[in-house]
Amino acid sequence: MTKLLTTPDGSPASRLAFGTMQFGGRADKDASRAMFEASISAGINHFDTAYMYNGGASEEILGSLIGDRRDSLLIATKAAYSGGGSRQNILDSFDVSRRRLGLDTIDLLYMHRFDPDTDLAESIGALTDLRAAGKIRYIGVSNFAAWQVVKANAIAAGAGSAVDVLQPMYNLVKRQAEVEILPMCADQNIACIPYSPLGGGLLTGKYAAGSGGRLTEDQGYARRYGPKWMHDAAVSLGEIAAETGTHVATLAVAWAAAHPTGPTPIISARSAEQLEPSLAALEFNMDETLYARLAALTPTPPPATDRLEEQS
C-alpha cells in the first residue's frame, strides 16, 4: 500500500479525491458548490486544484467553499505548470494560490510537471523550504516518471524531508503507471493520487453514444485517447456495466481504485448529476473476478525489464 494522507485534524484522507478542474470553467459557481457538497456528503475530504485551472477561478471558488470545514479537509494545489520550475516561479505562484484559496497553509503542494531545463534541486528545494516554514504539509509531484520521483525524493531527503505524493495519469486504457510508478510509490511510501480514471470521458460511454466532450473539443485529449482499441474497450466496459446493472463510470473509477497498491483516484464532473456515478464507486465492491475481467479488456503493459515470460 502507498502512504496514507491525513487532514489537519488527523482524519484519514478519503479513498477518492475530488478534482476541481471544472470549477470556473465548464462548471459555474452554483454547479461547483453542488458538486462540492455532494462530495462532502459522500465522504470525500480531499480536494484538488491548481494555480493554472481556469485562470485561477478554480482556486477562488474552492476557497470560497471551504468555510469552517477547513481542518477536516485536505486541500491540494499545484505550481509550475507554466513558467518553469524555478524557485521564484514556484514561490510566486504559491503565494497567489494561498490568497485565492484564503489559506495560510496549503496541505499539499505539487510541482505540476517536470522541468528538464531547471535543476531539480532548485525546484524541490523550494518545496522543502515551504514545508519547513509550515506553509505546506505535504510535498507532491505530478506527471513525473518514476526515476524523476526517486531523484526528487533523494534531494528532499538531503533536506530532511520527502516527496509524499505523486499524481500520475491512470485508468483502464492508460495503464503505464502499473509498470514502475505504482510499484515505486508502494516501495517508497509515496501516496499515489491518479487523475483521469474516466479517460477524459471515454470510459463513460458517452462518445460511443455520439455525445461530445473533451475528446471532441480538445485535440490533445483526442490524440491521447485516439487508438481504436481504447474505444473498443470502452464499448466492452459498457456491456459489462449493463450486464452487472452498474453505471459504467462507477466501474471505471472502482477499477482504478482497486489496484493492490491502493491509489486514490481523482474524480471530477461538470455537474452534481454527472458526478453521482463516480461517487458511487466509494461503496462499490470490486471483487477479484470482476477486477480481472475488466483488466482483460485492455493490454497489460509489459514489465520494466520487458521480460514477458516472467510476467505472472
Quote the CA–CA distance of 203 and 253 in Å, as a whole number: 9
Concatenating the DSSP letter of every residue in 99-168 gives HHHT-SSEEEEEE-S--TTS-HHHHHHHHHHHHHTTSEEEEEEES--HHHHHHHHHHHHHTT----EEE-
- Greatest distance between any 2 Cα atoms in the chain: 55
User: Which contiguous run of DSSP H or E holds residue 79?
Assistant: strand 74-79
What number of other Cβ atoms are within 10 A of residue 28's Cβ?
Answer: 15
Helix (H, G, I), strand (E, B) or coil at 266: strand
Among 53, 81, 110, 195, the one annotated catalytic: 53
**Is 81 tagged catalytic?**
no
CA atoms within 13 A on the CB side of 192: 32
Its sign, for the CA torsion 229, 297, 204, 279, is negative
Enter the C-alpha cell of residue 55: 485562470
Contact 139, 128 (CB under 8 A): yes
With vertex at residue 258, the alpha carbon angle to CA 10 and CA 108, rounded to the nearest 5 degrees, is 35
Catalytic residues: 53
